[in-house]
A and B are shown apart, each in its own frame.
Chain A
Amino acid sequence: MSMIRESDRSRIATLAADPQDRGGPGTSLLSVRGLIKHFGRTAGLFSQRRSVVRAVDGIDFEVAKGETLGIVGESGCGKSTTARLIMQIIVPDAGDILFDGEEVGSHALSLGEFRQQAQMVFQDSYSSLNPRLTVEDTIAFGPRVHGLSRRTAIARAHDLLHRVGLEPSRFAGCYPHEISGGQRQRVNIARSLALEPRLLILDEAVSALDKSVEAQVLNLLLDLKEEFGLTFIFISHDLNVVRFMSDRVMVMYLGKVAEVGPAESILALPRHPYTQALLASMPSMDPDNRTQEAPVSGDPPNPINPPSGCRFHPRCKVVATLCAHSEPAPHDVGAGHLAACHLANPESGHPRLAAA
């Protein structure tokens, strides 16, 4: 290990330039352009017909250095597929992923180098750990693969265990089945930090935890972010948690970005009817003022045959004939807040705009 203490590392990193920082502070850490992934499936055993699941269907977004981007959406909206595409666990059909200005998988930034700088934490804390490895071996595995000696890797594992709030003397030799869900998720977080990454993708990382433990892990994530100067992509279906964690929020619906922008702006003044419905669907915490009417009816449609035009139009309360055939492009409604709705664009010709 270096002479510099781990706790000083981040301070130095923020003062002087991070040696890993190639693009400079102005470059987005992650820049995704036109990302597409379709999964083909046969309709039946003897069928010639093939159907296509449009899991991610052309999305663009940026993640600035040091920020937290929250991604929200319902099941089937493509948020987890997006995370896996970024990590190249699934190979995209089309689209560019730039990490600090350089294309992932290119000559300048190989997949191995990229994965050292970007790590992921999954929802299921148990199935994402190897049941035959002890906690310290799990955390030391990555550094050893990347060439550290066993002794150094184990020392780093103990240091990380300490940082995620698990006493190394008690937990280092445990197997995953011997510890609780919250503790396992802490191990997963420690493992993801073992290669000193710059980007952490948290895919529903706290969703399986009990509420009382969830708060502990969220606090831990915020502390680690500050300490190591991390950038987060935080995927969750829980708007309360996303509100607390995120600087910017991206709302996805059926493989498309419905709305993206600063968290306060999206959550306080949502412009897309889907975001509005999602926010209104959160249970009321006021017993005297319960929800009286469901904000939208029906289930999210199947991504196999998504609706034409705006994908939300069959469930939308302010739908116009225009929405069924013309797909709205993301429109900037101010301060980097983009909404893919005809109502957000004064020039779209949506009849409600003329009425107002």
Chain B
Amino acid sequence: MSAPMVDVQRLTVDFAVGAKTIRAAAGVDIEVEKGETLALLGESGSGKSVTLRALMRLHPKSARIGGAIRIDGRDVLKMTAAELSRYRGGIVSMVFQDPGLAFDPVYRVGDQIAEAVVRHTGVSFRAARARALELFERVRIPSPERRLDNYPHEMSGGMRQRAMIALALACRPKVLLADEPTTALDATVQIQVLLLLRELQRELGLAVIFVTHDIGVAVEVADRIAVMYGGRIVELGPCAKIIRAPAHPYTQGLLMSRGDGTAKGGRLVAIPGSPPDLANLPPGCAFAPRCSRVIEECRKKVPAAVIIEPGHVACCVRAQPAEVFLQRSETFSCRTAGLIGADVRPDWRPHTTRRPS
């Protein structure tokens, strides 16, 4: 089997704030195959956006990045400035939460897309405008010829996000990173953009990493979901497993606090406490201070990944492997140890099949 399109190992991102060091990502491992969508699900400060930005090296120079990032076989952390500018947009591109900020307000949207095409492929400006038109049709912007000449402020939020997706796909990237791309949109527009992203991902065979805080959104687009908490992935598995049989107490708490099953007049099952302070993470499991099933061991060291089933892991001392795995574990081999750092069985390999069938 060939190497995955996105292969991130033990990624750490540290920011120095005054005398303190904030570890925003603390050993994140991600593998995404061509044609697969992985959702990074987490609350603010869980490290999901930091992880995503590290893949494009968008952090300021003062941020220290550790671990290894290989995308399409290239070592991203060793790239020179010139290599980086070819890589950004050419191999990996990104869709941001606020398309109003991502576009330059004083240039026409069509020209901004054409500029990127000229810069990356070296075609004439005229040909690049034609490519921009083709992309606008692809993302189904109504009356695309006219819209190419619009300035960003002349478009509605949903249309700007479609234009942003067109810009991201302009140079035929292999990997698309989406950072909460629908969070700023209205409900009826959000679902349109999600369906568009799903369709483009399928047609173009993109590897997509989709960052969101909304489980519902993750379920609509993702093949697999990685739940992040306190800078680490605490649970990773196929979409259906995470929703129906979550193994980590945090994932369970998130699902229960949604309240769609709670009767009117009842009470929501809330997770007590507040999200952790990244400058002051507890020595053991970051979730331990809020966990209802906490035991002494949780506070001592960061829990290792427990394989619940092939392709479904949870970093919790109290998580129980499903029996299925115990029978078949011998057939699993390989490389990516250390989903969360210490004490992971060296023979474990994360799930890499394309879609849950």
Contacts and interface: CB of A to CB of B under 8 A. Distances in A.
A285 B270 contact: no
Given A284-B220, A294-B191, A212 B271 contact: yes
A210 B41 CA distance: 12
Given A244-B268, A263-B264, A287-B356, A281 B243 contact: no
Interface string A266-308: 0000000000011001111111101111111111101000000
B43 A74 contact: no
Contacts of A283: 190-191, 194, 214, 216-217, 219-220
Nearest to A247: B264
Contact of B188 (A74, A222, A243, A287): A74
Given A283-B216, A284-B216, A287-B243, A240 B187 contact: no
Contact of B186 (A75, A182, A214, A263): A75
B43 A212 contact: yes
B43 A211 contact: yes
Contacts, number: 127
Q: Which of B189, B194, B243 has the most A CB atoms < 10 Å from its CB?
A: B189
B272 interface: yes
Nearest to B42: A210
B272 A290 contact: no
Interface residues of B, number: 45
Given A263-B264, A283-B217, A215 B270 contact: yes
B43 A297 contact: no
The secondary structure that dominates the A interface is: loop
Interface in B214-272: 214-217, 219-220, 238-240, 243, 253-254, 257-260, 262, 264, 267-272
B110 interface: no
A324 interface: no
A291 B254 contact: no
Interface residues of A, number: 45
Nearest to B253: A212
Nearest to B238: A287
Contacts of A109: none
B65 interface: no
Contacts of A293: 195
A211 B240 contact: no
A182 B271 CA distance: 12
A241 B264 CA distance: 10
A219 B195 contact: no
Contact of B219 (A212, A222, A290, A294): A290
A243 B262 CA distance: 10
Given A210-B43, A282-B216, A300 B188 contact: yes
A222 B267 contact: yes
Contacts of A222: 267
Given A182-B274, A210-B43, A281 B191 contact: yes
A286 B187 CA distance: 18
A61 B217 CA distance: 33
Contact of A240 (B158, B192, B259, B272): B259
Contacts of B274: 180, 182-183, 213
A290 B159 CA distance: 23
A218 interface: yes
A212 B275 contact: yes
B260 A290 contact: no
Nearest to B268: A215
B264 A243 contact: yes
A212 B255 CA distance: 9
A299 B189 contact: yes
Contacts of A212: 43, 253-254, 257, 270-271, 275, 290
A171 B186 CA distance: 36
Contacts of B239: 287
Q: Which of A218, A239, A299 has the most B CB atoms < 10 Å from its CB?
A: A299
B188 A278 contact: yes
Interface string B98-129: 00000000000000000000000000000000
A110 interface: no
Nearest to A246: B264
A331 interface: no
Q: Which of B43, B191, B220 has the most A CB atoms < 10 Å from its CB?
A: B191
Nearest to B265: A222
B320 interface: no
Interface in B64-105: none
B220 A290 contact: yes
Given A212-B43, A283-B220, A294-B192, A219 B240 contact: no
A101 B239 CA distance: 53
A84 interface: no
B47 to A, nearest CB: 14
A294 B192 CA distance: 5
B21 interface: no
Interface string B339-357: 0000000000000000010
Interface string B149-191: 0000000111100000000000000000000000000111111
Nearest to B187: A281
B329 interface: no
A153 to B, nearest CB: 28
A104 to B, nearest CB: 30
B219 A287 contact: yes
B214 A218 contact: no
Given A287-B239, A299-B189, A300-B186, 5 more contacts: A219-B270, A237-B186, A283-B217, A284-B220, A287-B240
9 contacts: A210-B44, A214-B257, A218-B259, A244-B268, A278-B188, A283-B191, A285-B260, A293-B195, A300-B156
Closest 8 CB pairs of A and B: A283-B216, A215-B270, A215-B257, A74-B186, A210-B43, A212-B271, A299-B156, A215-B268
Interface of B: 43-44, 142, 156-159, 186-192, 194-195, 213-217, 219-220, 238-240, 243, 253-254, 257-260, 262, 264, 267-272, 274-275, 290, 356
